[in-house]
Amino acid sequence: MIKNNGIFKLLMKNNEALLNTSLLLLRCIAGVVLFLVGAGKVFGWFGGYGMAATIKGYSQMGFSTYLAYLSSYTELIGGLLFIIGFLTRPAAVAVIINMIVATIVMLPHGFLGPSGASYPFSFLIVAIVILLAGPMSYSIDALFKRRG
């Protein structure tokens, strides 16, 4: 009978270990990409232009130097926090705010394409999922929760 089939159980029932692993993968991939982009903006690593060029680019879009730093370090530090699962929900809030602004700024260029809003919008949705679900079991946050 189908109900006894292991694949059926896998597809139809909640599996806490798989949910934890899924959130870990989502946090890590989003965190790595955000960290790499932030490191490029801040330090000029991974093909980025560094902070001076980032400030210049942000100012051409009408943003202050302060907001350029805030956005760049949100991606850098928020990405790192996503990867390790520490202060995950506060980091998600910061990333959400950053990606809302980025989506709005990029929307006049269209939704799809290399300069479109789909990239920041995708990270906005991922950050919302991370905020709602939390870091789950495979995180530093979970270690502190278990101790408390």
Domain presence at residue 101:
yes
pTM of the model: 0.89
pLDDT digit string, tens, across residues 21-45: 999 999 999 999 999 999 999 999 9
Domain presence at residue 23:
no
In angstroms, the CA 89 to CA 57 distance is: 29
Q: Please report, as a single letter, which amino acid is at residue 25.
A: L
In angstroms, the CA 137 to CA 147 distance is: 13
Residue 4 clears pLDDT 70, i.e. is over it: no
Domain presence at residue 130:
yes
Domain presence at residue 84:
yes
Domain presence at residue 19:
no
pLDDT digit string, tens, across residues 47-104: 999 999 999 999 999 999 999 999 999 999 999 999 999 999 999 999 999 999 999 9
Question: So what's the pLDDT on residue 28?
Answer: 98
Q: Report how many domains make up the chain.
A: 1
Domain presence at residue 124:
yes
- Give the domain range for residue 124: 31-147
Residue 119 clears pLDDT 80, i.e. is over it: yes
Domain presence at residue 24:
no
Domain presence at residue 12:
no
Q: What is the 3-state secondary structure (H, E, C) of 54-107?
A: HHHHHHHCCCCHHHHHHHHHHHHHHHHHHHHCCCHHHHHHHHHHHHHHHHHHHH
